[in-house]
């Protein structure tokens, strides 16, 4: 495909896909040659999970234009349901990829169902009110999972909200209330994470550039006008919200399957805000920005370990400086100019190449 014949959006989407693929290839080469630190290697899967969280939240915040402060709640719903499935499946099959994919699908579906349950009453609200309710939702999920006991034995799954009533016949406890999930089958892999990112990008980009995506953005721009052209506000709000929740659920499974233990309090308000920071810093509606912000802000605190006691201070300052810098028109223009120059060079080269081919 010729880069210049595409329209602006398509070109920008292609660049994003290319960026992710190139990053994946580079990391694979590093892994292959062993030129990677254990620290970075350990962070690969969480980075993938956070990227998916960021782009899915960006669908709600950037594309739909509604502030959600409970995105980690969907991650939690997906993580806990998906890992229960993974634990059951991995007793019967040893194909890790299959188990992971199936459990991610289940996690996604469960998170989507939770999204519908939350979305139907909540999406009547908007703005600050919606933000407050989603915040509460995240805490409710945390509270429920903190009191959830799930065990697996010969006769199947046992679920209870009080541990003592979990009538187990041997077997093992999968979700142990506040102790969360322990003994998780660690089946997450960077490749699956990469594929998940690509799938989510594909869904979001294609959604945005279709009838439904346009309707979602129309709600963001002007609700009254959207109604006046016959767009069903509730349906499309819910659609964006649920797709976003499903992706967060899948990211949750990926994330949890990378560690041997996950507790409900991991997916708290702070995590929701962290993801929101990725989105805001990367730019509302800007998926590429979300990907970069999620990566940088996940790696940064670890890189800053050399600052020992001051690392969180430095992290905060870097964050503030980045916020200021990305919102600075002078700097932005400068970057755009630089970028267009580079792109111009590139274009000239390809044109030359094409002429040469002719």
Q: In terms of CB distance, is 271 or 290 closer to other proteins?
A: 271
Residue 39 is a binding residue for other proteins (CB under 8 A): yes
Considering only residues 248 through 277, tell me which ones interact with other proteins, judged by CB under 8 A: 259-266
Residue 28 is a binding residue for other proteins (CB under 8 A): no
Q: In terms of CB distance, is 177 or 249 closer to other proteins?
A: 177
Q: In terms of CB distance, is 206 or 349 closer to other proteins?
A: 206
Residue 342 is a binding residue for other proteins (CB under 8 A): no
Residue 7 is a binding residue for other proteins (CB under 8 A): yes
Q: How far apart are CA 108 and CA 254, in angstroms?
A: 11
Q: How far apart are CA 89 and CA 184, in angstroms?
A: 12
Shortest gap between Cβ of 349 and other proteins (angstroms)?
26
Residue 213 is a binding residue for other proteins (CB under 8 A): yes
Q: In terms of CB distance, is 23 or 233 closer to other proteins?
A: 233
Question: Cα dist. 301→45, 293, 294, 307, 308 in Å?
Answer: 16, 13, 12, 10, 10
Q: Which of 220, 249, 280, 287 binds other proteins (CB under 8 A)?
A: 220
- Choose the stretch contacting other proteins; rule: CB under 8 A; options: 22-30, 70-78, 118-126, 175-183: 175-183
Q: In terms of CB distance, is 340 or 349 closer to other proteins?
A: 340
Phi-psi region of 66 (alpha: psi -120 to 50; beta: other; left: phi over 0): beta
Q: Residue 294, exposed/middle/buried by CB under 10 A (0-12, 13-18, 19+)?
A: buried
- Choose the stretch contacting other proteins; rule: CB under 8 A; options: 10-18, 88-96, 190-198, 204-212: 204-212
Q: Which of 186, 273, 296, 343 binds other proteins (CB under 8 A)?
A: 186
Residue 224 is a binding residue for other proteins (CB under 8 A): yes
Torsion of CA 28, 29, 30, 33, to 10 degrees: 120
Shortest gap between Cβ of 106 and other proteins (angstroms)?
20
Q: In terms of CB distance, is 143 or 344 closer to other proteins?
A: 143
φ, ψ for residue 151, nearest 5 deg: -125, 155
Place of tokens 């919606």: 130
Cβ atoms of 49 and 255 within 8 Å: the answer is yes
Cβ atoms of 305 and 315 within 8 Å: the answer is no
Tokens matching residue 277: 């920071």
Residue 221 is a binding residue for other proteins (CB under 8 A): yes
Name the pairing type of β-strands 149-153 and 156-160.
Answer: antiparallel
Shortest gap between Cβ of 67 and other proteins (angstroms)?
17
Q: In terms of CB distance, is 117 or 320 closer to other proteins?
A: 320
Task: Show the binding pattern over residues 302-331: x = contacts other proteins (CB under 8 A), - = does not.
Answer: x--xxxxxxxxxx--xx-xx--xx--xxxx
Question: For the sheet containing 149-153, what is the strand order?
Answer: 156-160, 149-153, 172-176, 181-182, 261-262
DSSP letter for each residue of 291-308: HHHHHHHHHHHHHGGGGG
Residue 179 is a binding residue for other proteins (CB under 8 A): yes
Q: In terms of CB distance, is 133 or 215 closer to other proteins?
A: 215
Q: Which of 92, 128, 211, 357 binds other proteins (CB under 8 A)?
A: 211
Considering only residues 85 through 104, tell me which ones interact with other proteins, judged by CB under 8 A: none
Q: In terms of CB distance, is 320 or 345 closer to other proteins?
A: 320
- Choose the stretch contacting other proteins; rule: CB under 8 A; options: 81-89, 152-160, 209-217, 337-345: 209-217
Q: How far apart are CA 136 and CA 129, in angstroms?
A: 11
Considering only CA atoms, which of 224, 216, 237 is closest in space to residue 125?
237
- Choose the stretch contacting other proteins; rule: CB under 8 A; options: 12-20, 72-80, 116-124, 299-307: 299-307
Place of tokens 């998926």: 287
């Amino acid at each position: 495909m010729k880069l210049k014949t595409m329209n602006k959006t398509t070109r920008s989407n292609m660049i994003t896909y290319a960026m992710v693929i190139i990053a994946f290839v580079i990391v694979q080469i590093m892994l292959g040659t062993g030129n990677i630190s254990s620290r970075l290697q350990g962070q690969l899967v969480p980075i993938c999970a956070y990227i998916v969280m960021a782009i899915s939240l960006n669908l709600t915040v950037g594309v739909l234009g509604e502030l959600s402060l409970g995105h980690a709640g969907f991650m939690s719903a997906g993580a806990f349901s998906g890992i229960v499935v993974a634990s059951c499946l991995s007793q019967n099959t040893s194909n890790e990829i299959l188990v992971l994919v199936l459990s991610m699908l289940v996690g996604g579906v469960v998170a989507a169902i939770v999204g519908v349950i939350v979305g139907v009453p909540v999406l009547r609200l908007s703005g600050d009110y919606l933000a407050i309710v989603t915040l509460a939702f995240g805490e409710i999920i945390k509270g429920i999972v903190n009191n959830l006991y799930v065990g697996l034995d010969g006769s199947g799954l046992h679920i209870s909200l009080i541990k003592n009533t979990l009538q187990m016949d041997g077997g093992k406890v999968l979700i142990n209330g506040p102790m969360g999930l322990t003994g998780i089958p660690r089946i997450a892999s960077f490749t699956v994470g990469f594929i998940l990112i690509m799938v989510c990008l594909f869904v979001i980009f294609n959604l945005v550039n279709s009838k439904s995506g346009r309707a979602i953005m129309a709600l963001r721009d002007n609700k009254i006008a959207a109604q006046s052209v016959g767009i069903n506000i509730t349906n499309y709000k819910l659609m964006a919200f649920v797709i976003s929740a499903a992706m967060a659920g899948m990211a949750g499974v990926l994330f949890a399957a990378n560690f041997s233990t996950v507790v409900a309090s991991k997916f708290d308000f702070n995590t929701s805000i962290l993801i929101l920071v990725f989105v805001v810093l990367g730019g509302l509606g800007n998926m590429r920005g979300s990907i970069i912000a999620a990566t940088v802000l996940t790696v940064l605190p670890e890189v800053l370990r050399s600052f020992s006691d001051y690392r969180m201070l430095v992290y905060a300052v870097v964050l503030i400086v980045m916020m200021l810098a990305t919102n600075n028109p002078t700097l932005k223009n400068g970057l755009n100019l630089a970028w267009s120059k580079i792109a111009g060079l590139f274009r000239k080269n390809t044109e030359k190449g094409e002429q040469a081919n002719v």
